[in-house]
Amino acid sequence: MTPQLFVFLVIAAIAVIAAVAMLLSRNTVYSALYLIVNFLAIAAIYLSLGAPFVALAQVTVYAGAIMVLFLFVIMMLGAEKLKEQEPLKWQRPLAIFLSLALVGEAVYALTSHIGQDFLTQPPTDTLADPKAIGALLFNQYSLPFEITSIILLVAAVGAVVLTRAGKKEEEKS
Amino acid sequence: MIPLVYYLGLAVILFALGILGVLLRKNALVVFMSLELMFNAANLVFIAFSNFYQILDGQTLVIFVMTTAAAEVAVGLALMVTIFRHRGSIDVDQTKDLKG
Amino acid sequence: MKFDSIFDLVPLVVFLPLLGLLINLLFGQKLGEKFTGITASLATGLTFVVSTLLAFGLNATPNPEPIKLFDWISLGSFNASWSFRVDTLSVEMMLVVSGVGTLIHVYSIGYMHSDVRHNGDPARYRRFFLFMNLFIAAMMILVCADNFLMMFVGWEGVGLCSYLLIGFWFEKGKDGIGNAEAAKKAFITNRIGDFGLLIAMFLIYWNFGSLDFGTVFAAAPTVAATHPTAMLLITLFMLLGVTGKSAQLPLSVWLPDAMAGPTPVSALIHAATMVTAGVYLMARSSAFYALVPTAQTAVMWVGAVTALFAATVAVAQNDIKKVLAYSTISQLGFMVAAVGMGATVAGMFHLVTHAFFKALLFLAAGSVIQGVERGLHHLKSDVEIDPQDMRNMGGLRKQMPLTFWVYLIGGLTLAGLAPLSGFFSKDEILVASSQGHSAVFVVLLIAAFFTAFYIGRQILMVFFGEPRSAAAAKATESPRVITVPLLILAALSVLGGLFNFPGWLVMDHWLARTLGEGEPLAFLWSVAEISFALALFGIGFSWLVYGRKSLPKDQPDPIQKGLGPVYNGMSHKWWVDEFYGLIILTPYKAIARFFAKPVDLGVIDGAGNSLAAATKSLGTWLRRFQNGYVRSYALWMLIGLVAILTYLVLR
């Protein structure tokens, strides 16, 4: 048990437990917060895998922006406690079974094909620094980059339009 | 260092948990959050392989995924708000008007 | 068309009637009845003129080349062209058809004028002449053809015109569809014969490689030596075609029903021309029949049995036209038997004389019928009687003297009394059968006796004695447009014997140029005496039964007591129609019903319907998946994902 492995296991445990907690929590705000914990854990893993920029982006964008947006909406809509009767009774057991099957099969496939011999590398200083990522982004991936900016524009406009239209109807009625 | 499969296994577990969340919770917001969880699992795979092969393309892709996820969340939440305004509830099971 | 020789006129025999048809089609309704009738008769008359010109041309050059109009079909090795054959056999037929045809057209001008008014639809006058001209055109194609395919076109064409003309009054008849049913029956029965002819044609092409008369008949002996079975089959299938077209047993059932058509139609088509097409075919193919003795025996017996059968039925019929119809079948039997025996010239001679006297008899019968109808019209009472039923006639020789005399001439010719033409032609056939085919000779003699008896009976019932109905008492003679053709035909019936008078044997020599020199039949005094005596006996016997005292009306036929059940059989035509109905029609209808209801509706429609029903139920089942719950959709995606993953893992 090397220290790296130990650290990894701890962080992984945190991530999984936070995810499970997010699922099971009845309070929506708690779910959001558990998800933030999950994101932070994953950011830590990114760091250990030698992706500092991505890790920070994760914290800033995901945990910082997206989850905050979620929390705003949760506050706006009221974190109601919904009645938990299932209209489709067999959905729950089937979903659980299938997810377990998914995990089992995926793990089996991974271990049989990849095996434990393939090891990840320790993080280096120069491999994934922002300069290198920026070079890649603006040279090879410049088109997706520009398109992504358009996507963001569209999303912003769309969000405004959607909520505005609703408002107009409300004003009419 | 750490075998690659451990990271992949973690990603698979997180993905499965995300799926469970989508399928089992009725609160639309929790469904969305589970969706984000699934995105993250995929990102983890990308980063793991990026490290394994020592190239940066995986990380670049993760950046794109993040931005797109952000855009999607924005629009999705706007939708959620509109639906809430119409129905007064964010129960996913209430939106069954397209029943065949 | 170049005109270097007289024979190039031959396409006109087809195109002149078609031209008449076209003119009547376009202008007939506008220009009136007289114009229509005259155009049609003129077209046929000009055809006769052309035929005579061709006959004179043949005197100079006995065997001209066929005149080719154009290539019709050219498929690989199969070639058929539209070419006309001018030889003595075809010109003889042309003369008969166009000559008798012209007389009948002229007669029809007057006859149809009354007929359309009696039946209530004057607008149909034009239609009659259109069909008649079409018939003449088709018949000409039949007789002038140089290959079997073109002949078949004419064959089918005359069948079609027969159908159209039998069903001329298509909405009348028994139950309103009787005439249409008769026309259908004629067409379908003919079709069975046509099927036989088609098979024969296929076999000919298969074995000879061509359908041209010249090629085929020249190669006949070679093929007969190498493929005797093929030759036998060809001749037998051709016989089937002949039984259909010439109304021999077993396909004779359509001719009596065909009397539903107007009388000129019965005269032209069902006495003089169309029904003789079968005899013509066999005369044309005599090269084949000469090589297959088995087929010859078959043909001979078919003809002989038909002759006797029809003659017995004619004895007990009460409709004036039905007697003549069965008489036609019987005389056709004579002709077919003659050709079967190898006495082709005798058969063709009888064809010509029969055309004269049978057309005469039919046209005169038409005159009688119209006379009775005129009497009926005079009475202006509401009594409905059948103007064609002989039991309503009687004593007409006083009212319609001219018709009586021509009918008498025709009747005696049919009976075979010397020196009328019928005697000579029938005698030749009897002579041919007496030399080597004694059984057939006896059968034909019996048939000849019955022939004389029934025609004597008919003449006595119609013209002698007292009128049995008020309409008959008031009957009047027909106008000249009707009686003049009758007189011409009567003259031909009397003088027709000269066409092949023993010793001169004009027709023998004429036809020999086409059919090859055969041994002409000698005139046997013994046979002549027997046949003359039989004719006298027949007529005398009929006078004994019917002539001594006038037959009162509503009394049963005098011979009914004598013959009892035999009379029943004869008057019911030996139940042939009922027999066919039982063994062919009833099973056929049962099969058809079986295929219609369970098979067509059940299986085929069911297959289609069940496909639709299956699709519908599949759709209904699939619909349940669209329950509107987004989560269940997501679940299905997961199920798919896991399934694919499982497949990939297990592979």
Q: Give C404-438 pLDDT, tens digit per residue.
A: 999 999 999 998 887 888 888 888 888 888 887 88
Cβ distance of C630 and B97 shorter than 8 Å: no
Average pLDDT (C2-24) is 83
How close does chain C come to B99, measured CA to CA in Å?
4
Q: How far is B18 from B24, CA to CA, in rounded Å?
A: 10
C367 pLDDT higher than 60: yes
Percentage of chain C lying above the pLDDT 70 cut = 95
Q: Spell out the residues 6+ positions from residue B63 whose beta carbon is closer than 8 angstroms to its own.
A: A54, A57, A133, A137
DSSP label at residue C409 = H
| Least confident segment among B92-96, C534-538, C620-624 | B92-96
Fold of B4-87: Helix Hairpins (1.10.287)
Average pLDDT (C204-214) is 88
Q: Which of B26, B93, B100 sits opposite C626 (nearest CB)?
A: B100
pLDDT given for residue A81 in this prediction: 62
- Best of B7, B26, B27, B92 to substitute, by most chain A Cβ atoms within 10 angstroms, is B27
Look at C558 and A167; give whichever has higher pLDDT.
C558
Look at C325 and C172; give whichever has higher pLDDT.
C325
Residue boundaries of the structural domains of chain C: 579-650
Q: Which of B37, B51, B63 sits opposite A19 (nearest CB)?
A: B37
Average pLDDT (C556-575) is 75
Cβ distance of A98 and C646 shorter than 8 Å: no
Which chains sit next to B, with 3 or more Cβ pairs under 8 A? Answer: A, C
Identify all chain B residues contacting A65, using CB atoms and an 8 Å cutoff: 70
Q: How far is C407 from C366, CA to CA, in rounded Å?
A: 11
Cβ atoms of C115 and C262 within 8 Å: the answer is yes
Torsions phi, psi of B86, nearest 5? Answer: -75, -45
DSSP label at residue C557 = P
Q: Spell out the residues 6+ positions from residue C299 whose beta carbon is closer than 8 angstroms to its own.
A: C235, C239, C242, C282, C289, C336, C337, C339, C340
Identify all chain C residues contacting A97, using CB atoms and an 8 Å cutoff: none
Q: Which of A87, A95, A102 sits opposite C641 (nearest CB)?
A: A102
Tell me which residue of C625, C619, C615 sits closest to B99, measured CA to CA.
C625
Identify all chain B residues contacting C627, using CB atoms and an 8 Å cutoff: 96, 99-100
Residue boundaries of the structural domains of chain B: 4-87
C328 pLDDT higher than 80: yes
The reply to whether A37 falls in a domain is yes
pLDDT given for residue C529 in this prediction: 85
* C554: confidence class by pLDDT, cuts 50, 70, 90: low
> Which residue does chain A place closest to B96, by CA atoms?
A87
Q: Is C49 exposed, middle or buried (0-12, 13-18, 19+ CB in 10 A)?
A: middle
Q: Which of B12, B21, B66 sits opposite A106 (nearest CB)?
A: B12
Q: Is the peptide bond before C250 cis (omega within 30 degrees of 0)?
A: yes
The reply to whether A143 falls in a domain is no
> Which residue does chain A place closest to C633, by CA atoms?
A91
Average pLDDT (A99-118) is 85
Arithmetic mean of pLDDT over chain C:
85
- Rounded to whole angstroms, what are the CA distances from C632 to A3, A87, B25, B70? 44, 10, 12, 26
Identify all chain B residues contacting A128, using CB atoms and an 8 Å cutoff: 50, 56, 59
Q: Which of A87, A91, A108 sits opposite C635 (nearest CB)?
A: A91
How close does chain B come to C635, measured CA to CA in Å?
7
> Which residue does chain B place closest to A28, by CA atoms?
B30
Partner C contacted by A97 (CB < 8 A):
no
Q: How far is C359 from C279, CA to CA, in rounded Å?
A: 17
- Best of C629, C641, C645 to substitute, by most chain B Cβ atoms within 10 angstroms, is C629
Cβ distance of C631 and A88 shorter than 8 Å: yes
> Which residue does chain A place closest to B10, by CA atoms?
A12
pLDDT digits (tens, 9 = 90+) for C92-121: 899 999 999 999 999 999 888 888 877 777
* A58: confidence class by pLDDT, cuts 50, 70, 90: very high
Per-window interface: B 15-74 vs C, CB < 8 A: 19, 22-23, 26
Cβ atoms of C456 and C539 within 8 Å: the answer is yes
Q: Is C580 exposed, middle or buried (0-12, 13-18, 19+ CB in 10 A)?
A: middle
Percentage of chain C lying above the pLDDT 90 cut = 29
Q: Which domain holds residue A61?
A: 1-79
Average pLDDT (A42-70) is 92
C387 pLDDT higher than 60: yes
Model pTM?
Answer: 0.71
Cβ distance of B23 and C638 shorter than 8 Å: yes
Average pLDDT (C197-225) is 88
C514 pLDDT higher than 80: no
* C627: confidence class by pLDDT, cuts 50, 70, 90: confident
Identify all chain B residues contacting A45, using CB atoms and an 8 Å cutoff: 7, 10, 44, 47
Arithmetic mean of pLDDT over chain A:
85
DSSP H/E element including C72: strand C67-75
Partner C contacted by A99 (CB < 8 A):
yes
Q: Which of A88, A91, A105 sits opposite C646 (nearest CB)?
A: A105
Partner C contacted by A101 (CB < 8 A):
yes
Q: Spell out the residues 6+ positions from residue A122 whose beta carbon is closer than 8 angstroms to its own.
A: A4, A50, B1
Tell me which residue of C529, C297, C528 sits closest to C429, measured CA to CA.
C528
C3 pLDDT higher than 60: no
Partner C contacted by B92 (CB < 8 A):
yes
pLDDT given for residue C79 in this prediction: 82
Cβ distance of A91 and C638 shorter than 8 Å: no
C246 pLDDT higher than 80: yes
- Across the A:B interface, residue pairs with CB atoms under 8 Å apart total 234
pLDDT given for residue C617 in this prediction: 93
Average pLDDT (C507-522) is 71
> Which residue does chain C place closest to A94, by CA atoms?
C635
Identify all chain B residues contacting C623, using CB atoms and an 8 Å cutoff: 100
- Best of B7, B22, B26, B29 to substitute, by most chain A Cβ atoms within 10 angstroms, is B29
Q: Which of A91, A127, A152 sits opposite B71 (nearest CB)?
A: A152
pLDDT digits (tens, 9 = 90+) for B12-51: 999 999 999 998 888 888 999 999 999 999 999 999 999 8
How close does chain A come to C635, measured CA to CA in Å?
7
The reply to whether A49 falls in a domain is yes
Cβ distance of C631 and B19 shorter than 8 Å: no
| Least confident segment among A25-29, C140-144, C301-305 | A25-29
pLDDT digits (tens, 9 = 90+) for C283-306: 998 888 888 888 889 999 999 999
Average pLDDT (C308-334) is 90
Structure tokens at C272: 């003089």
pLDDT given for residue C1 in this prediction: 44
Average pLDDT (B64-87) is 90
pLDDT given for residue A8 in this prediction: 92
> Which residue does chain A place closest to C640, by CA atoms?
A98
Of A78-82, C216-220, C597-601, which has the strongest mean pLDDT? Answer: C216-220
* Domain tally, chain A: 1
Q: Spell out the residues 6+ positions from residue C12 whose beta carbon is closer than 8 angstroms to its own.
A: C46, C47, C50
Cβ distance of A35 and B43 shorter than 8 Å: no
Cβ distance of C631 and A99 shorter than 8 Å: no
* C75: confidence class by pLDDT, cuts 50, 70, 90: confident
Q: Spell out the residues 6+ positions from residue C217 whose beta carbon is closer than 8 angstroms to its own.
A: C285, C287, C288
Task: Map tokens 């020196």 to a residue.
Answer: C419
Q: How far is A64 from A58, CA to CA, in rounded Å?
A: 8
Average pLDDT (C550-557) is 67
Cβ distance of B100 and C631 shorter than 8 Å: no
- Rounded to whole angstroms, what are the CA distances from C180 to C160, C177, C186, C187? 13, 5, 10, 11
